[in-house]
Each structure stands twice: as C-alpha cells, then as structure tokens.
Amino acid sequence: MNKIKRIGALLMCLGLLFGAAACGPKESDDQLLIWTFSDETVNMEEKFEAKYPEVDVVVKEYPMDVFQTRLDNALRKGTDMPDIVVLEISFVKKYVESGRLMDLTALGLKERADEELYEYTVDIGTAEDGNLYAISNQAAPGGFFYRRSMAKELWGDDSPEFVQQKLSTWEGFLDVAAELKSNGKKIVSNLNAAEKVFLCERETGWVKDDVLQVDPCWDTYLELIRTMQDEGYSNETVEYGAGGGWYTDISGNEVFGYFLGAWGLHYHLKSNAVNGEYSSENDWGIVQGPYPFYTGGTWYAGVKGSDKQEEIKNFMQYFMFDQEYLQGEAKKNGDFIGNKITVSALKDTFADPFLQGQNHYQIFSEIADQISAKNVTVYDGSIGSMFSEVAVQYAMRELNTLQDAYAQFKDYVKNAYTDIKTD
C-alpha cells in the first residue's frame, strides 16, 4: 500500500465537498477498506500487509467535517460501505450504540481486550448490551504539562513532586494562578482548559433514562472559569484554534502549563516548542494535576455486514495485541500505548529530554489505572458542546447566576432533543 494510493483515494472523495459523485464501491472484493478522518493510520496498512500479504488494505481519508455524514449515509443505505471505520472520542459512542457495527465479542476479541487493554478504553467501545463494538490500541491519559523554569523562578523547586502538591486541588490551582499573575504569567493559555478534566471528574453522563443530568462538579467548574476570567488568569486563546495564539504560547515565556493528553507531548508541545527566537524546548515537566483524566483517542470498528470478518479479526488482533508491533511503535515515538502488557514491559525505560529526563510513561500508566469512562454517553459531543458554550457565557458574565447558566443550557438541550426531559 503506497502513499499515492492513499492520497488518490482522499482526492477522489474530496469531490463530495463540491457536489461531485460519491466514491464508488471497492475496486476489488479482495480489498480491506478502511475509512478514517485523520492520518493516524499512515503506514498501518503497510505493516499489516507485510504480515498478511494476501490482504490488500485501502485507506480512504475524509475531512473531519464530512466524515460522519459520509459514514451515516453509507450505513443507512447499506451500500458502498467500508469494512473498518476509525472513530474519534467525540462520536465513537454514537456508532457503538447504533447497531451498525460488527460485534467484536462474537469474534472472540472482548475477553482479550478486557485482560490486556485499559478498562476505560474497553468501556467506551462497549455498548449497553454488553458487547464490544470498537477497540483502541491507544490510551490517552492526560496530565498538566508545566514550564520548569517558571516553577523554579516562582518557588525555587521545579520537581514534579513539589508541583503536584501545589496543583493537587482546584483551590490550589487558583492559588498558583494568582501567584503566577503577580509575576506577569498566566497559568493556562485558553480559559476553558480545565473542562476536559471535569468531564472525567463527573460521576454521571449527560443523559440517563432520557433525562438530562447535571453533575454537581459542574458548579465547581463554572465558578472556576468565572474566577479565571475575572482575574485574568488565562490568555483567552482558543484551544487548537486558528490564528496561532494557543500554539504560540507553547514556545513563549508567558503561559505556565497545558492540560493535555499523552499524545499532546509529541503532537503539540514538541512540535511547537520552537518559534523563531522563542523556545521552550526541554523546559517541561508533567504532573497529574487536580484529578486524573483522559482526552482524545481513536477507536477501530468493523462494519456490520462486511464479508471480511476474518481479515477484520486479524487486523484488530495485530494492532491491539501484537507485542512486537506495539513495543516497536512505543520505542520509536514514545506514544503511550493502550495495551497494559506493552506499558508494563516499557514503563521503566523512558527518560525524555524534553521533560528534563522525567519518565512520562510511568506517570501516564499511574493515571490510566485511575480513569473511568462509565460516564460517557452518545451525547458527549453534542450536549457537551452546548455546555461548553454556556460555560464561557457564564465566565464572561453574559449569564449572571448559576441558575441562569443552567436554564440556558436546558433550553439548548430542549431545542435540540425534544425527547430528553430537562426538568
């Protein structure tokens, strides 16, 4: 499988954006067709074909803004469907509960997944019927990445042990924010940086038995970001936003830290640490922060009705459980793997110069063991975005009281989902 084949498939499918004809069926019945929204599967097909040379893997990459529409249409029609789909955390549950995915439990994969993979990743891929429909070889525990030089200047101690003590509670987080402000620094770049942590801190998901749930932890979050806005504790950038402010802050000398998943170390911090005359290279540390959390992640699922069950099973077994492949990937790029056997074998061997020799694998393994995803629902992407909007409005005092904020939130949900009770 070469890059030209992949790019050709992407360019052909981009015609969808301009009203062109839809991508046609598979060119051959011998192909294992994968649909994805990102380039994370780059080279996966080559590795799989090297082990299973009789299988021709074709990857079609669609832009994120059309991926779900394209997939929904294919699943609804039942024609021209992929064999495997790649699903992102914000919408994986939607498809897990859709009844349109292949039952991986029936393929014999759930028992091994329960044994080897981090529990939260298996929970996310498991439907209410108890069967496994999506599986991940990636775990994305998160932490607070902080600037060591700022910690040293502020407290005379930049060790992860000391910094974790300072940031072990949300009260401590605000105290540190105040200290940093007095020294001309910001604790975070974007105002709502902590929201991803509270998503894991909540005990209930957004909806249960068709009734909207508002976990008590959201009171704490709303008051937290209002204080941060009132006191000017952030740079008010947009996370991953265009314009570069959030990314520029990584290399600058004004922002203390970022709440990021394990993948953020390589794909955000390292790739943006140097910007012109400014550099934060090799000036970072990592701590858990106020609460263990995860963010992001990618799941793989077989599509119900595919006649490639054996190939799909082999694909899943290879990428989720093959230790030669998994350990090779971890050693090559330092990514945190979702297989506990891999992590156990490697977690004592890492020392990253970017983190001044700190072992990120060790701390991420400890955080991953504490994570639960039993509060994830099919509404996390949609209702979650509504709450995010309300939270910023409350922080900006466009909504005066908590009661006003929750009333606005319930109105948003009521207008979008007439079948969900909000009172």
At 135-177, the pLDDT tens digits run 999 999 999 999 999 999 999 999 999 999 999 999 999 999 9
Query: Collapsing DSSP states into helix, strand and coil, what is residue 225?
Result: helix
Q: What span, in angstroms and rounded, lies between the C-alpha atoms of 80 and 270?
A: 40
Cβ–Cβ < 8 Å for 258, 231: no
Bridge partners of 260, per DSSP, are: 143
Place of tokens 């009281």: 401
At 314-361, the pLDDT tens digits run 999 999 999 999 999 999 888 899 999 999 999 999 999 999 999 999
Give residue 12's pLDDT band: very low, low, confident or very high (50, 70, 90): very low
What is the chain's mean pLDDT, rounded? 91
Bridge partners of 274, per DSSP, are: 279
Tokens (6 digits) for 258: 């970022």
pTM confidence score: 0.90
pLDDT value at residue 41 = 67
At 112-138, the pLDDT tens digits run 999 999 999 999 999 999 999 999 999
Nearest Cα to Cα of residue 37 among 79, 76, 95: 95
Least confident of 37-41, 201-205, 260-264: 37-41
- Strands of 4-125 (E only): list them: 31-36, 56-61, 84-88
Nearest Cα to Cα of residue 264 among 291, 278, 242, 246: 246
Q: What span, in angstroms and rounded, lies between the C-alpha atoms of 280 and 148?
A: 10
Nearest Cα to Cα of residue 221 among 293, 154, 118, 315: 293
Place of tokens 């409005």: 393
Domains along the chain with CATH numbers: 3-139+296-346 (3.40.190.10), 142-294+367-416 (3.40.190.10)
C-alpha angle with apex 342: 341 to 343, nearest 5 degrees?
Answer: 95
Dihedral over Cα of 297, 158, 340, 352: its sign: positive
pLDDT value at residue 45 = 85
In this structure, what DSSP letter does residue 111 have? H
Q: What span, in angstroms and rounded, lies between the C-alpha atoms of 251 and 390?
A: 30
Q: How many residues does the chain have?
A: 423
